[in-house]
A and B are shown apart, each in its own frame.
Chain A
């Protein structure tokens, strides 16, 4: 259902003739808004049943393609829906001439994201990845201009190379394991001895490389800040979840195939991930400190958050996993808010835009925008009152038992310090070190502020409702730590005519 809705909406919007388009403008936002109740309903389903399996075309699991809903995918759908709603509202508040293509591509992007979160089949995951990527190429180009074209060219070429790698990994897996269904793959892995697994492991490692590229882990992170800085604000905000798709895929594949504490490959992957993740955090911290523009700084913050998530995942314990998920929710939403906010600020600075090197004219509403910026900065850097602090605290506590705990503690804390420095520098440049008079006479429109506040409100809400969220995440992690349940549900057929997708 979350897949079909954007598909139908996008198809409808494409069919409407250009003459009647203004009358159908509401279609896109309404479709996006509907994602939220659907996500809530799906979370309720996941909490009630544990797993909901839907076999497409009613072919049973190892042969047909299945969609699987569990707590993790329901959670990701929820984040996606909230972020998409805010991004869409932000776009509505600033009408541009490309509205129609934007709407259609936006729906396709949502369809790809939701599909990637729900699918239980590796090849299907590839297809949904391509859907969301091709939509993102189009979205990135919205607005035009040389810098966008250049960023898009890099982004597209890199992702095409990544897709080739994805297919190679799939070929290796299929040739050896004879299946691409995730649950079936988990069964094959668990039944074989360690000597017979080498090819499968090679395939899974390749897959991990691909997902690391999508989520911008260290050696493969260079594309991200440039790309995100080039995109228009609502698109950049939505892209904040795209890196998390990679993280989601890594979590899903790793927990399913290797289990959290199991085969002898686990330590290798864990070490590899933690080294790369911590290096990512460090590199992104320095990148943020040295960026010349505010949008680029935000891009580095996305990289940093993904590094933190991976570092926590690599601890490979249910507790760390739930901490990683908590941090992921808050960082995705808050980074989305920051992208939207930066756009508002940059707008008011006129030709200086979002440069951090020049003194610009002061913004029209320094108190309002400054407060928002300050709140976002606090949430991202992880200072006490807001949710970033709790996310980081949970990660640090969960990592205590790991061998590399000192490294993880050191890097994460230094990383937070760097972020704090970078954001304070940016904030003082934006709001205090100003010349001349405000350029824009009009204050910020309420419609543009609403989505920022909506996303930011998630942060205190995550603190206030930390207990239920934490309980949900703990159960999610427990579910992930126990892949047998997933395998049984999917392969045992569950109830093939179960709930809707």
Chain B
């Protein structure tokens, strides 16, 4: 059940992300990138298998544990993705200032 829910949410997120990224204005594109990066992060997290309720470490008394590596990867990916989103926001604002509109090609329509 949880797998189904998980995969559907990843799918919907990436669908919305890709759709928005193909728009012509910078704001939807940035939003689309953000959604896509959420989808990617979930996907990476899922690559370590979904087992609820187990700690990500090997210790005494812990029988079943989950793989800690995907969690570390996702953490890194989130940090990098966040920085990139901030950067692209600033760049989009700068483009708005420099080019006078928010079209990705900088052309007024």
Q: Decide if B106 touches A146 in the complex (CB within 8 Å).
A: yes
Q: With A130-B80, A146-B99 in contact, do A156 and B44 touch (Cβ < 8 Å)?
A: no
Q: Decide if B98 touches A146 in the complex (CB within 8 Å).
A: yes
Interface flags, A157-178, vs B, CB<8A=1, else 0: 1001101100110111011000
Interface flags, B63-100, vs A, CB<8A=1, else 0: 00000011001001100110110011001101100110
Q: Decide if A150 touches B95 in the complex (CB within 8 Å).
A: yes
Interface flags, B19-42, vs A, CB<8A=1, else 0: 001000010010001001100110
Q: With A171-B40, A174-B69 in contact, do A127 and B76 touch (Cβ < 8 Å)?
A: yes
A157 — which chain B residues lie within 8 A by C-beta? 21, 29, 33, 88, 104
Q: Decide if B98 touches A170 in the complex (CB within 8 Å).
A: no
Does A475 have its Cβ within 8 Å of any Cβ on chain B? no
Q: Decide if B43 touches A171 in the complex (CB within 8 Å).
A: yes
A170 — which chain B residues lie within 8 A by C-beta? 44, 47, 73
Does B46 have its Cβ within 8 Å of any Cβ on chain A? yes
Between-chain CB contacts (< 8 Å), 7 pairs = A141-B91, A150-B99, A157-B21, A161-B21, A163-B81, A171-B40, A171-B44
> Total contacts A to B, CB within 8 angstroms?
85
Q: Interface size of B by Cβ–Cβ distance < 8 Å? A: 34
Q: Decide if A168 touches B84 in the complex (CB within 8 Å).
A: no
B37 — which chain A residues lie within 8 A by C-beta? 160, 164
Does A145 have its Cβ within 8 Å of any Cβ on chain B? yes
Q: Considering the chains assembled together, what is the distance between the CA atoms of A156 and B46 in angstroms?
A: 27
Expressed in whole angstroms, the minimum distance between the Cβ of B76 and any Cβ of chain A is: 7
Docked complex: B36-63 residues within 8 A CB-CB of A = 36-37, 40-41, 43-44, 46-49
Q: Decide if B104 touches A153 in the complex (CB within 8 Å).
A: yes
Q: Considering the chains assembled together, what is the distance between the CA atoms of A146 and B77 in angstroms?
A: 31
Contacts beyond the supplied A149-B99, A160-B33, A171-B43: 18 A-B pairs with Cβ under 8 Å: A123-B76, A127-B76, A127-B80, A145-B98, A149-B106, A150-B106, A154-B104, A156-B84, A156-B88, A157-B29, A161-B36, A163-B84, A167-B43, A168-B40, A172-B47, A174-B47, A174-B69, A175-B46
Query: Of the candidates B69, B73, B80, B98, which one forms a contact with A149 in the assembled complex, judged by CB atoms under 8 Å apart?
Result: B98
Does A134 have its Cβ within 8 Å of any Cβ on chain B? yes
Does B3 have its Cβ within 8 Å of any Cβ on chain A? no
Name the prevailing secondary structure of the A interface residues: helix
Expressed in whole angstroms, the minimum distance between the Cβ of A188 and any Cβ of chain B is: 15
A127 — which chain B residues lie within 8 A by C-beta? 76, 80
Closest to A151 in B: B106
B105 — which chain A residues lie within 8 A by C-beta? 150
Q: Decide if A161 touches B91 in the complex (CB within 8 Å).
A: no
Does A152 have its Cβ within 8 Å of any Cβ on chain B? yes
Query: Of the candidates A146, A163, A175, which one forms a contact with B47 in the assembled complex, judged by CB atoms under 8 Å apart?
Result: A175
A168 — which chain B residues lie within 8 A by C-beta? 40, 43
Does A472 have its Cβ within 8 Å of any Cβ on chain B? no
B40 — which chain A residues lie within 8 A by C-beta? 164, 167-168, 171
